[in-house]
Amino acid sequence: MNKQLQEAYDPNAFRKSGHELVDLLADYLTQALSGNKNLATYPSQQPEDAFQFWSAYQLENQNPIPLFEEVLKQSIHLHHPQYMGHQISVPLPVTGLAGFFSSVLNSGMGVYEMGVAGTAIEKVLAKLFAQKIGFGSNADGFFTSGGTLANLTALLAARGSKTSVWKEGMLGQQFAVMVCCESHYCVERALRIMGWGEAGIVSIPSDKQFRMRTDLLEDAFEKAKQEGKTVLGVVGNACSTSTGSYDNLEAIGVFCKKHNLWFHVDGAHGGAAIFSDKYKYLLKGIEAADSVVIDCHKTMMVPTLSTLLLFKNEKKAYQTFSQKAAYLWEKAGEMEWYNLAKRTFECTKSLMGFKLYTILQIHGEAIFGIYIDTIYDLAKQCAQTLKDHAQFELAIEPDANILCFRFRATNLNEEKTNQLNANIRKTLIEKEAFYIVQTSLDGKVYLRTTLMNPFTTVEIFIDLLEEVSSIANVVLNKTA
């Protein structure tokens, strides 16, 4: 055995560093979760500077801890309650252990033999989610690499179920899917990847709450038909990305049934509300869907990547891809649930369901509902606070944990108000204490907070508003 390789696999070095790493992370979590002001929520660093730093970086010896410490210092801290930015989960610490464990095992998961426990665990979870959605016993699903890929996979399944494109190609046909203008960009991307071009997207306008105008579906469908398009399905948002608005899934389901269309629900962000007795009403009608995407790495406290794609009729999932791979499986044409790569894009895949399963085993299913209630309630309380501040304008009452608002100064026109809010956000994150994002709604720039961290409180949100006001006043004084 080569000496260097032997040393690189040394279990004792692993044991020592592993203990130190757990200590490092436990100390970090204590600091972050308590909202320690000495810990920057966001390390404001220019990309070129970061590149220079890591190009020149050299670890002194074979102890990896200084490397982990440096990465920690230069990373965004989702566990800090002043983190209110993108829709990435604030993972439960135990999922870190499950991730650590699965990296060491490195089960491949494409075929059953490479992931005996992991494959069965995926099925257990898919069945649980299917039951929560209200699907019948024919439902099943699997984990895949993120909401973007899951939405593409679902739309390919819709195509596989309704056309013969997989075998015969497009044959000059123009297929399309109807989707709210507020849907995540990955839906449009998926349709373009499928070769349907711009014409493949029938965009349905939204109402004042940024929900799909389902009253316009019939007309849009007729118009698309007259233009020579074959509409295959409708995508409902549960919820939308910018404002967290839930489409009327019940109405979409009725429409799809009437016209025999595939009904897909993009529940990447808000599908987890199926676990909340208080908020599952937002998903009323989801049980009529053909396919549903839920990102557990968004609103289920699981680290990236962990996305469930569920099908009401599991057989449809096998129509997405039908290929022979003699080295992987013997019975190419058979619906073997345990050979996951028959239904997924991925061949090699990590133990994606394991972290979620660990949470379930340790904390029970109830924790997911408790988490959703906490962050959705918080958004409502923060919305009330915004309404009490004359200088702030709330975009809409939140359905979920996403809040969009902007600072208003008297005598500023729309363009200047947009510039002001973009300036506020830039200055705010450069100060490193708070992390929020921004979005544009009907051409207006809004500050956007996604309340992902259950340790964030209304008081912390009020601190944010004070900081925003103070930055706004400095910016306004400079430009006066």
Q: Which residues bind ligand PLP (CB under 6 A)?
A: 87, 146-148, 151, 184, 186, 241, 266, 268-269, 295, 307
β-pair partners for 242: none
In the complex, minimum distance from the CB of residue 266 to ligand PLP, in angstroms, rounded to a whole number: 5
Residue 142 amino acid letter: F
Q: Between residues 385 and 401, which has the closer beta carbon with respect to ligand PLP?
A: 401
Torsion sign, CA atoms 377, 378, 379, 385:
positive
Closest CA to 309 of 111, 192, 152: 152
Asked if 265 and 129 touch (Cβ cutoff 8 Å), the reply is: no
Question: Could you give the C-alpha distances from 388 to 363, 392, 407, 412, in angstroms and in order?
Answer: 37, 8, 13, 21
**Residue 140 or 295 having the CB closest to ligand PLP:** 295
Which residue has tokens 């966001």?
A: 42
* Cis ω before 239 (30° cut-off from 0): yes
Query: What is the closest distance, in whole angstroms, from the C-beta atom of residue 88 to ligand PLP in the complex?
Result: 8
CB of 316 to ligand PLP, least distance (A): 20
| Shortest spacing between CB 185 and ligand PLP, in angstroms | 8
Report the residue number, 107 or 237, with the smaller CB distance to ligand PLP. 237
40 or 268, CB closer to ligand PLP?
Answer: 268
Helices 354-363 and 366-388 sit at what angle, rounded to 10 degrees? 90
Count of CB atoms within 10 A of residue 398's CB? 23
Peptide bond into 305 cis (omega under 30): yes
Tell me which residue has its CB nearest to ligand PLP: 147
Q: How far apart are CA 300 and CA 293, in angstroms?
A: 13
Strand partners, 231: 176
Rounded CA separation 457/19 (Å): 33
Count the residues in the chain.
480
Mark out the alpha helices in 332-457 (DSSP H runs): 354-363, 366-388, 414-430
Residue 217 has phi, psi (to 5 degrees) of -60, -45
> Toward ligand PLP, which CB reaches closer, 180 or 424?
180
Closest to ligand PLP by CB, 147 or 303:
147
Q: Which is nearer to ligand PLP, 358 or 450 (CB)?
A: 450
CB of 266 or CB of 399, closer to ligand PLP: 266
CB atoms within 10 A of CB 53: 12
- CA atoms of 151 and 184, how far apart (whole Å): 10
Per the listing, tokens 């995407």 go with 293
**Quick one: tokens of 194?**
């499928």
Q: Min. distance of Cβ 192 from ligand PLP in angstroms?
A: 15
Give the Cβ contact number of residue 426 at 10 Å.
13
Judged by CB, which is closer to ligand PLP: 246, or 275?
246
Q: At closest approach, how far in Å is the CB of 304 from ligand PLP?
A: 7
Q: Which is nearer to ligand PLP, 110 or 147 (CB)?
A: 147
Closest CB 434 distance from ligand PLP, rounded Å? 20
CB 90 → ligand PLP: shortest distance, Å?
15
* C-alpha atoms less than 13 angstroms from C-alpha of 130 in its C-beta half-sphere: 23
Q: How far is the CB of 307 from ligand PLP (least distance, A)?
A: 6
Tokens 């992987």, located at residue:
328
Comparing CB distances to ligand PLP, the nearer of 111 and 235 is: 235
The nearest distance, CB 222 to ligand PLP, in angstroms, is 28
CB 268 within 8 A of CB 295: yes
Q: How far is the CB of 349 from ligand PLP (least distance, A)?
A: 15
